[in-house]
Every structure is written in structure tokens, then in C-alpha cells.
Structure 1
Amino acid sequence: MERRYNGSAWHDRFLPRLTSAEVQALPKEEALVVLPIGAVEQHGSHLPVYTDTLLAESVLDEACKYVPERYAVWLLAPMPYGISSEHSGRAGTISLSIPTLQGVLMDIAQGVRESGFRRLLLFNGHGGNSALLNLMAREVRLKTGLMVFCLNVGGLTIEEGLITEKERLLGIHGGDYETSLIMASYPEWVREERLGAEYPRLEEHSRYLRFQNAGFAWTIDDVSESGILGDARTASADKGKLLYDRQGRQVADILMELTSFEIGKLKQQ
């Protein structure tokens, strides 16, 4: 029988596979609980609607290969739904409302705190979740006392030369980057005969507005006919493997640092 939670990360660091007594007994002073958050939304005609959740899971799985056993990093079950309202109306998109996601995040955080943990990382695979996660991180901090961190897969460093500058600026949905990663991790989920390319004419019409900063409100129907932003034709599994390796090591360094971060030490005495 094929089973979902295979690999060392899900065997050694998946908190829900422990019993209540085992969770209670865990050392928690320098433990970090990680909540992967993704989305179910259209990604053009070549990628699965589960892409962002797969990315959150896969990058974390890769990162855990580089985290020594002595670091107490624990993964929660991934949240497969997020805020995907920018893709509403396109087949396969299933979006939570803002109040629903706020409530779910707070409830999960309360459970983490009641289990005795002190640190929670919101590990996000979908750009549309970012603004709310940053807001909720502070709300969770205020209501639970947890130290709360946010990390976005899309904000990780991409090694120079792996993708073009145009793709870096405009290829934010179903382009080279995401397609390469899914090709490397779930090749059977990619429809390679349907790879396409589409870029919005943003640079032609604004010197200032960009997707990454100096943002503006948009839906996919505003900026794309095909449902993608970027060039999936330049993607490859080999490129995806390089991205996983580089970004996995980067995330591993961050995870290890967060296990000992103490927010109470930031003020000058």
C-alpha cells in the first residue's frame, strides 16, 4: 500500500505521529513547531491545483535532510487550503475566506501553546497567504505568547543564473521556478505537453509597480489569459533539483537558528 508520509522528515519530525504522552515528554525550551500552509488553486494547464501545498511540503522535506537530530524541529500536518481569491472562478480553485483562515490559524496556535511549545513557524507556499499570515503572526503572539515566525517559499533566495531576471520579476505563478520544482518532486503530476508562457505587460505600463513590492491589487483575470505568469517552457527537473538543494539548505539554516531565538533578548538592558 502506498502511504503519504514517507521520508525521514515525516518519520522523524512529524509531530502528529507521536502519542499524547510522547508530545508531553518532549523537551520544548528550544523546540520549533512548523505549520506548512499551501493552497488549492489553478496553476494553468500544466501544473496541479495542489502545487503550492506540494512546494511547502517538499521544500521542508528537503530542508530537514540538513537539520541535525539535536535540533528540535517538529512538523505539523500541512494545511492544504489558503486564501486563493485572486484565482476565484477558475476551475479547481478552492479558497478559504479571510475570517476562516484567521480562525483556523488561531485555533492551531492555541493547541501548540497548550501542548507546551514556545515557537511556531508559519511556513507558507502560496504568495496570496502572505499578507494575512504576517498580520496573524502578531495576533497569535498577543493572544498566546508564542514566538511566531513567517517564512515564504517564494521569498527564498534563488541562486544567480538559475532563472532569468524577467522570470524573477514576473514569473510568479506556474512559471519556470514552480514548474521546475514540481518536475523534480512530482514529475507525474506535470503535463509537459501543455507547458506555456505568458507575461503581464507590467514593466511597459509602470516604472514603480511590481508584484514583489510596490504592490497593487490584482486578480489572475487582470493579468493573465492562460492562468500562469512566467515561462514554464524553460523549466526542467534538473533545475528543480538544484533549487531544492540550495533552498533546502537555506531553510535548514533558518530552522536551526529559530530553535534558539529568544525575542525577550532583543531589548537593550
Structure 2
Amino acid sequence: MRTWIPDARNFAYLTWKQVEAIEKDKALLVLPTAAIEQHGHHLPLATDTLINNLLLGKALERLGPEAPVYALPPVCYGKSNEHLGFPGTLSVSASTFMAVLRDIGASVAASGFRRLVLYNTHGGNSSLVDVMARDLRAEFGLRTFCMFGSAGAKFEGLSAQEKAYGFHAGEIETAYLLSGIPELVRSEEYTSNYIAELANPDLLLPENGPATFSWLTRDIAPSGVMGDPRPASKENGDRWIEEAATKIAAALEAMLAFEERVPA
């Protein structure tokens, strides 16, 4: 699969002797978590994994050469049962996903590393990533961190409706791929669908509300798209990648500098 991770920061490219030489108490390992799942008629199954790799790779390029940050190989398969029923979606159970993260965390700790960030770019994994970051902290004493998506990028030029409900295969994801790997975007196959409308507020929301309802993609989006990819452009993708990479790099630097907070 295509990678933007710099070779010198690709953990899997190291030998065990090179890993042995790393100052473990200062280093930060990044474990990407994503998915292989349907992304409408116009984006590839690997969209979440590609975006994770693209944003993380661009962020790692911004770090100084002295920063001991390394990207682990991604966990490509996620909890994607919301997309089951669409051919090509490959989903694992919550227990399997968490067991994989637990075992990787155990291996990281056994190698002597003390800092691990779980960097997730698939919404279906988010709650499990939160749980596992706490569990890895408790079981192995790892200093764990979580980071999600574009790390707080503002997406200037994005409509309020798309920002709120462009959940899946919408303008942002399409723009990212138009910038990073445009040959995989089928622009002639765009479809649009929203799970909710800002103009028609409701008490029960699909996400991020005081009361929510559970949903499966096939119930509400026949094409698999939740959002509107039609306004997406390479130019916006370029700008948004730059902003996201800058924020991700800043977060990684903060994680490197993080000190234990012990009550007086």
C-alpha cells in the first residue's frame, strides 16, 4: 500500500539492533488505526488507512531530525460493522480489535518503550481506542495518548452542513485523496446523502449530541456516502492536509515533552 511515512521514521524498516539503540524512555511510537471499508462509489476501500498514512507522514516530515518519533505499521482492519452489507467491507469485532491493540501494546512495553500514541482515522474505532489507551496505561504502565483524524483542523471553506454531517466519503476525505492519490478518486461516480440536516434540528442526533440513535449505513445511505463530495478539490485538499499535518506534528511534539503529573 502507498506510504508517505519517511523511511527513517518507519519502525518496520529498522533492524532489531537499531531498535535496541533507541532511548526508549524518550521515544514516541505511533500506532495508526483505521479501516478497510466501503467509501461510496467514488473512493477506495482503503480510504481511512490512506488518509491516516498521508496525514501522519506529512506531520512526521515537519519534526526535527532529533525527535525520536516512529510510526508503527497500521492496524488496517477496524470495527466497521456499520458498513456491513456493502461488498468489500472487512470488519473485525470490538473484542478482536481491542485484543490486537492490547497485544501490540504488550510488545511495545516488552521492547522497553514507554510512550505510545493511538492515532485513529476511522469513526467506528473511536470509543474502542479511548478504552484501550486507558487499559494499556493501567496494565503496562505505558504513557498512552490518543489522537483522532485531522487533530482539530478548521477546514476553512467547508460548509457548516458538511462540517457537521459529512461523516463518510464526503468533501474532506475526497479532497484529501484528490491531493494525495488522485488516481484512486472516481469523480464521475459522486453521490450525496446526509444523515441529518442543520436546518432541521432534532432532539435525537446520530452523533455528538446529548441523546443519540444508533445507525447502520445501509439504513440511511444507499450509496454508502454520508456527506457531499461534489465540492471537493485538490486545492482544498492541499490546504487542509497542510493544516492537519501542522496540528498533528504539534501534538506529537507535546506528547514527546509531556511530563508525569503527580499530585503534590
State the TM-score, normalizing by the size of structure 2. 0.94
Counterpart of 1:197 in 2: which secondary structure?
coil
Are 1:176 and 1:233, in contact at CA under 8 Å, matched by a contact in 2? Answer: yes
Distance 1:64 1:205 in 2: 40
Q: CA deviation at 1:4?
A: 4.6
Residue 138 of structure 2: which of 133, 142, 162 is its match?
142
Match of 2:230 in 1: 233
More moved, 202-211 vs 44-53: 202-211
Match of 1:242 in 2: 239
Match of 1:31 in 2: 27
Are 2:43 and 2:174, in contact at CA under 8 Å, matched by a contact in 1? Answer: yes
Q: CA deviation at 1:224?
A: 1.4
Are 1:127 and 1:154, in contact at CA under 8 Å, matched by a contact in 2? Answer: no
Equivalent residues in 2 for 1:64-213 (5 A)? Answer: 64-153=60-149, 156-159=152-155, 161-203=156-198, 204=200, 206-207=202-203, 209-213=205-209
Match of 2:6 in 1: 10
Distance 1:213 1:150 in 2: 21
Q: Aligned-residue CA RMSD in angstroms?
A: 1.6
Are 2:114 and 2:142, in contact at CA under 8 Å, matched by a contact in 1? Answer: yes
Counterpart of 2:90 in 1: which secondary structure?
coil
Are 1:202 and 1:209, in contact at CA under 8 Å, matched by a contact in 2? Answer: no
Q: CA deviation at 1:201?
A: 3.5
Distance 1:124 1:22 in 2: 27
**Aligned partner of 1:66: which letter?**
R
Q: CA deviation at 1:102?
A: 1.1
**Aligned partner of 2:16: which letter?**
S
Q: CA deviation at 1:208?
A: 5.3
Q: CA deviation at 1:75?
A: 0.6
- The number of residue pairs the alignment matches comes to 262
Give the fraction of aligned pairs with identical amino acids, expressed as a percent.
36
More moved, 147-156 vs 242-251: 147-156
Q: CA deviation at 1:210?
A: 4.7
Q: CA deviation at 1:268?
A: 2.9
Residue 39 of structure 2: which of 43, 48, 59 is its match?
43
Distance 2:128 2:83 in 1: 17
**Aligned partner of 2:189: which letter?**
R
| Distance change (3 Å), C-alpha of 1:33 and 1:179 | same
Q: Structure 1 unaligned segments of length 5 or more: list them.
A: none
Are 2:151 and 2:248, in contact at CA under 8 Å, matched by a contact in 1? Answer: no
Distance 1:52 1:199 in 2: 19
State the TM-score, normalizing by the size of structure 1. 0.92
Q: CA deviation at 1:212?
A: 3.3
**Aligned partner of 2:263: which letter?**
Q
Are 2:175 and 2:237, in contact at CA under 8 Å, matched by a contact in 1? Answer: yes
Match of 1:267 in 2: 262
